A and B are shown apart, each in its own frame.
Chain A
Amino acid sequence: MGNLKRAAALLLVLVICFSFGACGKQGTVQPDKPKADTIVITDMMGREVEVPADTKNTTVASTYGVVTPFLSTLQIPDRVLAANFKNKQFFRLCEDPIINTGNIGTTVNLDSEALAATNPDVYICKISDQEKIDIATRLGIPAVTLSAEIPEEVLKAYEMLGKLLGCEERAQAIIDYLKGELADIDDLAAKIPEEDKVTAICMGSLLSRVAGEDMLQTMMIERVGGKSVVKGIVGEEERYWADCGVEKVFELDPDYIFVTSSAVLDYSMDDFYTDSSWSGMTAVKNRDVYQIPAKLDSWDMPGPGFILGMYYMMHCMYPDVCTAEMLQTEVNDYYNFFYGKTFTGEEIGYEF
């Protein structure tokens, strides 16, 4: 075994040389920040987090896909150091400079060292993501959690981000706009006579999976005047998809079937019509199966887009109350307000 010992000695020498040669200073590193004043904000888990007081200059990084539209709509692209884009094409069309920002990971995977190299003032992640909060804390970067699963949370998220990033005015404008839209929707929904109300359900990424009683999509259905059929059906976790089984869906037999756009589907929209087991369903017979538009910007994802999702659902279920022109106007208004642009139906992925 003398040969092996010699090989081992050689390996030792190589390792030592390598460590002194190869890992010199490569790339640039953000210099240390001077100790600054801090303020305390409450994040959406209820944690009290110390963040820089100079909020108008606070830089931020995130790997949570949901956060990106929020940051984009607040129009602070130079302060976003890294973000995770679910759909880059949309932001490209919007010509939002945020598209040029860095990437330090995905919703599931955070590249800890890239976070360190980026060195933002604040790191934003999903609520209950203890592992990422832990890593940011270990690096000395305050972690702020965000959740936007239901309309109330979306408003709260904007409020929190406004305070965090010193853009309270823009945030308030958005909150007012969304509140206004919700008020409009409530007014419209009030016009629907009780006897005309229809039932609807929202399907998830599997044919056996539906939006439960406490999920965004179900709330959307109910708010626009639809009748939810999933009372008592909830997912394993709070605000989570319910795996109730295909047969349960058959049993519930809603008038309208919506399909989510917030996840990758395990089936195609045609399956409802080609699969004979679905042919007995009311919604299939009346061809009232709709996928919520998702080509560019998801309308039933956590985020401000749910407003459009609601208008869309109302239009599908009550085309007299929410006409096609109305929907088009609202869509254009929305994108104008947030991004100063409008898109064609083809770009967004809907047609009337």
Chain B
Amino acid sequence: MATNSKKNFYAVGFDLLLLAILAGCIVMALCSGKYPITPKESLDVLFGELFHKGGSYSEMTKNVVMGLRIPRITASILCGVMLAMSGVAYQSIFKNPLISPDFLGVSNGACIGAAIAILMGLGGIYLSGFAFLGGILAVSITVLIPTILKSESNIMLVLSGVIVGGAMSSILGFIKYVADPETELAAITYWTMGSFSYVTMSEIKSVILTMVIPMIILFGMSWWLDILSMGESEAKSLGANIKLIRNVAIACATLMTASSVCISGTIGWIGLVIPHFARMCVGPNNTKLIPTAGLMGGIFLLLVDTITRTISMAEMPVSILTGLIGAPFYAVLLYRQRKTIS
């Protein structure tokens, strides 16, 4: 009976496989790049530095691994995990496999926050801070509208997201219009398309808590997300405190997404496609989906970012590749599912 529980709630075998793939990808990413490093060297540096043992590697190799690649690898995995997991959460809350974390406006809000910081000439930690606040504020407004209208329905929330999202697109357009085309506009555009080029370990450290804590909470209540996906009246009649679960889940997913956006800019498609693919592999149970989608998201974004930085000299924003790969991939997924969709 114990194994029965395990089998039902966790896709152990599959997740372990994914973990192994992730480890392999990390090694590959560590030794990919214009500065040539062999896998053995990169692992030497990693273990040497982590355990303060030192080793026979050159200073520059150490700097490239620890100073350039490790922050990027860490950031891209974390953001992939966060975006995928919050995508799962949103899809369960809204009972809709077509929703992505951008739905309630967190990405647009974070962009506006970042754009304002760029216009004010701020950078670094302030930029991240503004982006984070922007994302949270946008979602708060979106959630506030139905509350003011005294409506509890999901549809109201979705419509509110559409309204706020539309308004924010216009604001962002205006900001781009007044931005200086020579310096600021490029920075803002890079933000709206996502990039890991300048991410630092201190930025990552500053958001690690707002990533990990909501993740743990979300995972803890993952079974209740299944209940929520039964629809409002049924979930209520099953004894679920819908408001509480929904608000906590939205808050967690938003924090996770905002944290990701504030260190890397907006990256699209991951929150939409990865949950879908994970669902095809392990089924719709959130207890399985959340970890599995997280691992897949981490692997995917790590691979995409590694390709981005090794392919061209002029760094391509990450969203371009996630879109180029994500959109056709999504089409293939939908094609395979076409019989079950209607």
Ordered by A's residue number, 15 sampled pairs between the chains whose C-beta atoms are within 8 Å are A5-B281, A15-B24, A23-B28, A23-B32, A25-B36, A111-B313, A112-B68, A116-B34, A116-B35, A117-B34, A130-B123, A134-B198, A135-B68, A140-B59, A205-B182
> Which of B17, B27, B36, B180 interacts with A5 by CB under 8 Å?
B17
Q: Which residues from B are CB-within-8-Å of A236?
A: 180
20 new A-B contacts, CB < 8 A, other than A16-B24, A205-B181, are: A4-B281, A5-B13, A8-B14, A11-B21, A15-B28, A19-B24, A19-B39, A24-B36, A29-B60, A33-B59, A111-B34, A111-B315, A112-B197, A113-B33, A114-B313, A117-B34, A131-B198, A139-B60, A140-B67, A241-B180
> Which of A12, A29, A105, A112 interacts with B24 by CB under 8 Å?
A12
**CB-CB contacts below 8 Å: B298-342 with A:** 309, 313-315
Q: Is A276 an interface residue (CB 8 A)?
A: no
Sort chain A's interface into a size bin. 35 or more
Closest to A23 in B: B31
Query: B58 to A31, Cβ gap below 8 A?
Result: yes
**CB-CB contacts below 8 Å: A48-88 with B:** none
Closest to B296 in A: A8
Once the chains are docked, how many angstroms separate the CA of A205 from the CA of B123?
A: 25
Q: Is B229 an interface residue (CB 8 A)?
A: no
Q: Is B186 an interface residue (CB 8 A)?
A: yes
Once the chains are docked, how many angstroms separate the CA of A31 from the CA of B60?
A: 9
**A residues in contact (CB < 8 Å) with B:** 1, 4-5, 8-9, 11-12, 15-16, 18-20, 23-27, 29-33, 103, 105-106, 108-109, 111-114, 116-117, 119, 130-131, 134-135, 138-140, 205, 236-237, 240-241, 263
- Minimum CB–CB distance from B182 to chain A (whole Å) comes to 6
Query: A116 to B123, Cβ gap below 8 A?
Result: no
> Which of A9, A23, A33, A139 interacts with B39 by CB under 8 Å?
A23
Q: Is B193 an interface residue (CB 8 A)?
A: no
Query: B121 to A237, Cβ gap below 8 A?
Result: yes
Once the chains are docked, how many angstroms separate the CA of A113 from the CA of B311?
A: 12
Most chain A CB atoms below 10 A, which of B14, B64, B315: B64
Q: Which residues from A are CB-within-8-Å of B24?
A: 12, 15-16, 19
Closest to B58 in A: A32
Once the chains are docked, how many angstroms separate the CA of A26 from the CA of B36?
A: 6
Query: B35 to A29, Cβ gap below 8 A?
Result: yes
Closest to A111 in B: B313
Q: Which residues from B are CB-within-8-Å of A105?
A: 313
- Minimum CB–CB distance from A265 to chain B (whole Å) comes to 12
Q: Which residues from B are CB-within-8-Å of A112?
A: 68, 197
Query: A138 to B20, Cβ gap below 8 A?
Result: no
Q: Is B140 an interface residue (CB 8 A)?
A: no
Please report the number of residue pairs spanning A and B whose Cβ atoms sit closer than 8 angstroms.
Answer: 119
Query: B121 to A116, Cβ gap below 8 A?
Result: no
Query: A15 to B17, Cβ gap below 8 A?
Result: no
Once the chains are docked, how many angstroms separate the CA of A24 from the CA of B33?
A: 11
Q: Which residues from B are CB-within-8-Å of A11?
A: 21
Once the chains are docked, how many angstroms separate the CA of A263 from the CA of B183?
A: 12
Query: A138 to B67, Cβ gap below 8 A?
Result: yes
Query: A130 to B124, Cβ gap below 8 A?
Result: yes
Q: Which residues from A are CB-within-8-Å of B59?
A: 32-33, 140
Query: A139 to B64, Cβ gap below 8 A?
Result: yes
**CB-CB contacts below 8 Å: B167-197 with A:** 180-183, 186, 197
Q: Which residues from B are CB-within-8-Å of A240?
A: 180
Q: Which residues from B are CB-within-8-Å of A103?
A: 313
Closest to A114 in B: B34
Q: Which residues from A are CB-within-8-Å of B212?
A: none
**CB-CB contacts below 8 Å: B1-58 with A:** 13-14, 17-18, 20-21, 24-25, 27-28, 31-39, 58
Q: Which residues from A are CB-within-8-Å of B13?
A: 5
> Which of A31, A140, A241, A263 interacts with B63 by CB under 8 Å?
A140
Closest to B121 in A: A237
Most chain B CB atoms below 10 A, which of A15, A29, A106: A15
Once the chains are docked, how many angstroms separate the CA of A339 from the CA of B28?
A: 48
Once the chains are docked, how many angstroms separate the CA of A8 from the CA of B123?
A: 41
Most chain B CB atoms below 10 A, which of A29, A112, A236: A112
Most chain A CB atoms below 10 A, which of B18, B31, B58, B60: B60
Q: Is B221 an interface residue (CB 8 A)?
A: no
Query: A138 to B68, Cβ gap below 8 A?
Result: yes
- Minimum CB–CB distance from B61 to chain A (whole Å) comes to 8
Which 9 residue pairs are nearest across A and B when measured between Cβ atoms?
A138-B67, A19-B28, A113-B34, A23-B31, A15-B24, A32-B58, A116-B35, A113-B35, A131-B198
Closest to B42 in A: A23
Query: B38 to A8, Cβ gap below 8 A?
Result: no
Q: Which residues from B are CB-within-8-Å of A1?
A: 280-282
Query: B63 to A109, Cβ gap below 8 A?
Result: no
> Which of A27, A109, A116 interacts with B60 by CB under 8 Å?
A116
Known interface pairs A113-B34, A205-B181. Does A138 touch B63 (Cβ–Cβ under 8 Å)? yes
Q: Which residues from B are CB-within-8-Å of A108?
A: 183, 186
- Minimum CB–CB distance from B42 to chain A (whole Å) comes to 9
Query: B28 to A116, Cβ gap below 8 A?
Result: no
Closest to A130 in B: B123
Q: Which residues from A are CB-within-8-Å of B123?
A: 130-131
Q: Which residues from A are CB-within-8-Å of B210?
A: none
Q: Is B74 an interface residue (CB 8 A)?
A: no
Q: Is B200 an interface residue (CB 8 A)?
A: yes
